[in-house]
Amino acid sequence: MNKTPVVLTIAGSDSGGGAGVEADIKTFAALGVHGTCAITSVTSQNTTGVISSYDLPPDVIADQIDAVCIDMDIEYVKTGMLASPDIVLAVAERMKKHALSPVVDPVMAAEAGGELLTKDALSVIADELLPLSKVVTPNIYEASALSGISIKNHKDVRNAATIIGEMGVHSVIITGGHFDASDLVYETANETFTLIPGEFIKGGTHGSGCTYSAAVAAYLAQGFTLVDAASQAKRFVEHAIGGSVPVGRGVPPVNQLSHIRRNAACYHVLQDMEMAVEMIKNCTSFSYLIPEVGCNIAMAIPQAGNVADVAAVAGRIVKLKHKPAIVGCVEFGASSHVARIVLATMQSDGGVRAAVNVRYSKKVLRIIDEMDLSISSFDRAEEPAKTSTMDWGVTHAIKIYGSVPDVIYDEGGVGKEPMVRILGKSATDVAGIAVDIADRFTSG
């Protein structure tokens, strides 16, 4: 049986839960390694900054490290806030004692504001801890402080990495969040530079540095090469930043579980979509509701932001020999038309995440009325220039009704087929309504 890697974080505690040990443990869990910790300092901190901090006695920190290492098989360690020279010395001594491979995050300031490291401690980190390190992960500001040079361009980044490498560290990763979106990996043994490209992501960044170094340690513990670990960690942090949500009045913390939650949401959406498609496929009478252009059904993940977050049938649902036929598989990003209906609806009510379009007729509208479904409409003739019909039409119909109705229709226009759109919380919900309408349509 494969053993789960155990990784240790030696860092400060963030009472706001965004950075430090709290961020590290969430990162370890998200990446499938068992996280352990030795707390160095207790900070009174939130999203607006550090109010105060209390450093634990070095012997207490050493005891925490010993307690974990004598019981568990640990190779990789991530260090974060090491506020004083005595704490750095105690940690360095335990690194030697237990033959640990630390990933050193030279934390100097909190993302939300507040200094976390004394100048004396920085000097001891450079002299005592870096020579023991597998890799050090400074940002531009921290790399400038360690190397003693002002970093203004890519050449300066390479020079700083070289200087830091001469301190005895095995490898240096200078992260680019404060300069550009790329990270530079410098491996001292063969003097190799590798650029890890990236992009600036909109979202909260509180805890991003802690999360990155913890992710590097987690990937290394799972056998990744340094460059691969750096690349995977960068992608992980980008997802975590993009998935951040405000939790206070300051800088939002990164969300280490965002990619897991997204994957889970995608799985549930695909499951629901497959059931909805089967409902439609097995309803012969649904063929009477299929428009000339065909129809489609779509469902979005929670907090969907674009078409890629919406699943639909890759082709369309068409009429074939008086039966509904599903042309294509269910995929994310498969339909721009129905996806825009869903996205426009979610702007007003994030809980309404699904839609199916069916053929317009007076009889269909009468059945909808008999089913006591709420209904609204828009007139294509009123559509402003240079707008998307679906974005404007759906939004306009919702505004007229005052909330999201069950059904939105339009009577078409020049070259545009009239259409009825059924809205609901899930694909199976809207498919169920559509099937009910189809059965009533053929029975009476």
Please check whether residues 270 and 247 belong to one and the same domain.
no
Mean pLDDT of 436-441: 96
Q: Which two tokens mark 317?
A: 């649902």
Domain boundary among 256, 271, 298: 256
Q: Could you tell me the pLDDT band of residue 386, with boundaries at 50, 70 and 90? A: confident
Rounded to whole angstroms, the Cα distance separating 332 from 304 reads: 11
Instruction: Evaluate whether residue 1 is within a structural domain.
Output: no
**Token pair of 131 as six digits:** 């020579």
Q: For the residues 112-137, what does the mean pLDDT come to?
A: 79
Q: What is the spatial distance between Cα 358 and Cα 134, in angstroms, rounded to a whole number?
A: 60
pLDDT at 116 over 80: no
Do 56 and 170 belong to one domain? yes
For residues 386 and 436, which has the higher predicted lDDT (pLDDT)? 436
Mean per-residue pLDDT, 207-234? 96
- Token pair 């491996």 is found at 187
pLDDT of residue 384: 87
- Residue 340's SS3 state is helix
- State pTM to two decimals: 0.83
394-409 pLDDT tens trace: 999 999 999 999 999 9
Q: What's the one-letter identity of residue 391?
A: D
Q: Quick one: pLDDT at residue 429?
A: 98
Q: Tell me, yes or no, whether 10 and 153 share the same domain.
A: yes
Please tell me the distance from the alpha carbon of residue 311 to that of residue 68, in angstroms, as a whole number. 45
CATH number at residue 408: 3.40.225.10
Checking if the pLDDT of 341 tops 50, the result is: yes
Give the residue among 363, 360, 343, 340 at the shortest CA–CA distance from 352: 343
Contact 315, 302 (CB under 8 A): no
Q: For 368, which DSSP code?
A: H
Domain-terminating residue out of 256, 278, 295: 256
d(CA 186, CA 138): 12
In degrees rounded to 5, what are phi and psi of residue 269? -65, -45
Across the chain, what does the average pLDDT equal? 93
How much is the pLDDT for 415?
A: 81
Q: What is the DSSP string of 181-250?
A: S-EEEEETTTTEEEEE------S--BTHHHHHHHHHHHHHHTT--HHHHHHHHHHHHHHHHHT----SSS
CATH of the domain at 74: 3.40.1190.20
Query: Same structural domain for residues 183 and 319?
Result: no
Boundaries of domain holding 98: 6-256
> Same domain for 303 and 238?
no
Residue 199's pLDDT is what?
Answer: 87
Residues 264, 271: Cα–Cα separation, whole Å: 11
Using alpha carbons only, what angle is made at residue 174 by residues 172 and 175, rounded to the nearest 5 degrees?
Answer: 140
Q: How far apart are CA 88 and CA 76, in angstroms?
A: 17
pLDDT digits (tens, 9 = 90+) for 241-260: 999 989 999 999 999 999 89
Dist CA 171 CA 91 (whole Å): 19
Provide CB contacts within 8 A for 396, sequence distance 6+: 378, 382
d(CA 420, CA 409): 4
Are residues 270 and 147 both part of a single domain? Answer: no
C-alpha–C-alpha distance, residues 218 and 210, integer Å = 12
Question: Span 124-130, mean pLDDT?
Answer: 90
- In this structure, the answer to whether residues 157 and 30 fall within a common structural domain is yes
Integer angstrom CA distances of residue 1 from 4, 221, 308? 9, 17, 38
Residues 267 and 397 in one domain: yes
Within this chain, do residues 132 and 245 fall inside the same structural domain, yes or no?
yes
Output the DSSP codes for 66-131: HHHHTTS-EEEEEE----SHHHHHHHHHHHHHTT-EEEE----B-TTS-B---HHHHHHIIIIIGG
Domain-ending residue, one of 256, 285, 313 = 256
For residue 175, pLDDT beyond 60: yes
Tokens of 166: 């001469």
What mean pLDDT is predicted for residues 109-125? Answer: 65
| End-to-end CA gap in the chain | 63
Query: 282 and 427 in one domain?
Result: yes
* pLDDT tens, position by position, 272-308: 999 999 999 999 999 999 999 999 999 999 989 899 9
Q: Quick check: 310 and 335 in contact, CB under 8 A?
A: yes
Residue 20 lies in a domain: yes
The per-residue pLDDT for 110 is: 52
**Share above pLDDT 70 across residues of the chain, in percent, rounded to a whole number:** 96
- Asked if residue 187 and residue 308 are part of one domain, the reply reads no
pLDDT at 389: 73
Same domain, 75 and 206: yes
* 88 contacts 128 by C-beta, under 8 angstroms: yes
Determine the pLDDT at residue 132. 94
Cβ burial 335-349 (10 Å sphere, 16+ → b, else e): bebbbbbbbbbbeee
In the chain, the number of structural domains is 2
Question: Residue 273 corresponds to which tokens in the numbers above?
Answer: 């979509």
- The CA distance from 141 to 138, in Å, is 8
Indicate the pLDDT class of residue 113, thresholds 50, 70 and 90: very low
Encode burial over 325-334: b for 16+ CB neighbours within 10 A, e otherwise.
bbeeebebeb
Assigned domain for 31 exists: yes
**Domain contains 97:** yes
